[in-house]
A and B are shown apart, each in its own frame.
Chain A
Amino acid sequence: QKEVEQDPGPLSVPEGAIVSLNCTYSNSAFQYFMWYRQYSRKGPELLMYTYSSGNKEDGRFTAQVDKSSKYISLFIRDSQPSDSATYLCAMTTQTGANNLFFGTGTRLTVIP
């Protein structure tokens, strides 16, 4: 079983739709949860990070963490064609290992 599972998609939505992206994980020691956006042939770009459970909002993006279910989500409101990219979830423990564990990414296309 992979430590981080993410539906690869692809996911296509019309412009203006609310997008929901999700990851599940198996390691209960994970405490930090990140979302990255990766455009084709580019490096991942850090969108948001959240510590432990709860919600965090930044503009059109909202990250949610439910540690009891080992489930994290990223919501994108009023999606734009420029949001078309692959979205990667990543997570890590609080201490010790500094490396990030990534999902495989969900490819999103926002259709004008």
Chain B
Amino acid sequence: NAGVMQNPRHLVRRRGQEARLRCSPMKGHSHVYWYRQLPEEGLKFMVYLQKENIIDESGMPKERFSAEFPKEGPSILRIQQVVRGDSAAYFCASSADSGRFYEQYFGPGTRLTVT
């Protein structure tokens, strides 16, 4: 299966801990997007990355959240000192190139629960 992979699928963290979410894009894709889905709300854009570069982080909260997409390995969304309001489903999407940015394919998501 060459689809977008995310792990873990479920993550439980206590308030104040760190959460690390991983995303491997579809084979041949070099553009990665992270979205957050809160209950009863639509998907909200967080950050757009290419290999070793953050292209657009306009949707990312200014504090505690960071993202990277290293030359080797998966993209990582990191949330430091989690709070209950961070509980949500986090989805990663990938696209083949910047010309087809509208054709984004999503992974199964990581459901983060903060207790």
Total interface residues on B, CB under 8 Å, equals 29
> Which stretch (B14-22, B63-71, B73-81, B104-112) binds chain A?
B104-112
The answer to whether A44 touches B43, judged by C-beta atoms less than 8 angstroms apart, is: yes
Contact with B along A1-34 (1 / 0, CB 8 A): 0001010100000000000000000000000101
Which residues of B lie under 8 Å from residue A98 when comparing CB positions? 31, 33, 48, 55-56, 95, 98, 101
The answer to whether B33 touches A104, judged by C-beta atoms less than 8 angstroms apart, is: no
Contact with B along A73-112 (1 / 0, CB 8 A): 0000000000000001010100001111111110000000
Which residues of A lie under 8 Å from residue B109 when comparing CB positions? 42-43
Determine how close the nearest CB of chain B comes to the CB of A37; give it in whole angstroms: 11
What bracket does the count of chain A residues touching chain B fall in?
20 to 34
The answer to whether B107 touches A43, judged by C-beta atoms less than 8 angstroms apart, is: yes
The answer to whether B59 touches A45, judged by C-beta atoms less than 8 angstroms apart, is: no
The answer to whether B101 touches A45, judged by C-beta atoms less than 8 angstroms apart, is: no
Q: A99-B56, A100-B45, A104-B41 are in contact. Are A43 and B91 (CB under 8 A)?
A: yes
Q: A92-B102, A97-B56, A99-B59 are in contact. Are A43 and B108 (CB under 8 A)?
A: yes
Segment 44-72 of A: residues with Cβ below 8 Å from B: 44-46, 49
Determine how close the nearest CB of chain B comes to the CB of A53; give it in whole angstroms: 15
Q: A92-B101, A92-B102, A99-B33 are in contact. Are A104 and B40 (CB under 8 A)?
A: yes
Q: 3 closest pairs, A vs B, by CB?
A: A99-B45, A32-B102, A43-B106
Interface residues of B (CB under 8 A from A): 4, 6, 31, 33, 35, 40-45, 48, 55-56, 58-59, 91, 95, 98, 101-109, 111
Q: Provide 15 A-B residue pairs closer than 8 Å at the C-beta atoms, listed in order of the A residue.
A: A4-B42, A34-B102, A43-B4, A43-B107, A43-B108, A45-B106, A46-B104, A90-B43, A98-B31, A98-B33, A98-B95, A99-B45, A100-B35, A102-B43, A102-B44
